[in-house]
Amino acid sequence: MSATSRASLDQEIYLRSLTGYLVGRHLLAGFRKVAVLTYPDRICSAMAAAALASYEASGNYRDAAGAVFLLEPGKEDAAAGSALRYGADAVYLSFGGEQKMSDVASLTARAVGALARAGYRGALLVHVRAWLATKQLSSLLSDPTLAAYLRGLGDVRVFTADAAARKFLFNRVRIGESGAALERYAEAEITKEHADLLRISLPPPE
């Protein structure tokens, strides 16, 4: 790996850690047991770890407050089953940093399908890249089975970012017949450094 590539990766890992910090404080807030489903790469792992550490540091440090399950390709059903057996009341889909957006969309669909087959009925929390990759969940809602499952969940949430305003926005997703709409419930200011990193954090090329 070249020095330039290493510096870029280091910066990206740091960005995901900053993002994970805010996700843990705001997106995961209010839940008792959080299962994070993440892709087994460095960037996704960094954010998953940061999110749970931040969540537990925000008054949730106790036995079995959070767990990470890897979404290895072809083993999505195993990960979903583990989250169900763990007893999570919230599952956070935390991935997308190193993958092409088309791959993120496919993985999101497979993960949601696996959760549906497992019988998971708790809250579903979605990373902004999964939200964008699925075109605001529209690609999932075009599948009747996934659409029925998502509409049947009591709580779907996503975080988005506004780098220009230097804010993270935390939203409940309202799913109707015409698609998904956002209802903001919290926001958090981000540092200039975080905003600058977000501006250059573009989706990987196809």
For residue 202 the two structure tokens come to 């573009």
In 3D space, the residue among 136, 185, 205 whose CA is nearest the CA of residue 26 turns out to be 185
pLDDT, tens only, 51-77: 999 999 999 999 999 999 999 989 999
Query: At 101, is the pLDDT very low, low, confident or very high (cuts 50, 70, 90)?
Result: confident
pLDDT, tens only, 17-43: 889 999 999 999 999 999 999 998 888
pLDDT, tens only, 105-128: 999 999 999 999 999 999 999 999
Strand partners, 168: 161, 188
- For the whole model, what pTM was predicted? 0.91
pLDDT, tens only, 140-160: 999 999 999 999 998 999 999
Determine the pLDDT at residue 201. 65
Query: At 8, is the pLDDT very low, low, confident or very high (cuts 50, 70, 90)?
Result: low
Helix (H) or strand (E) holding 52: helix 42-55
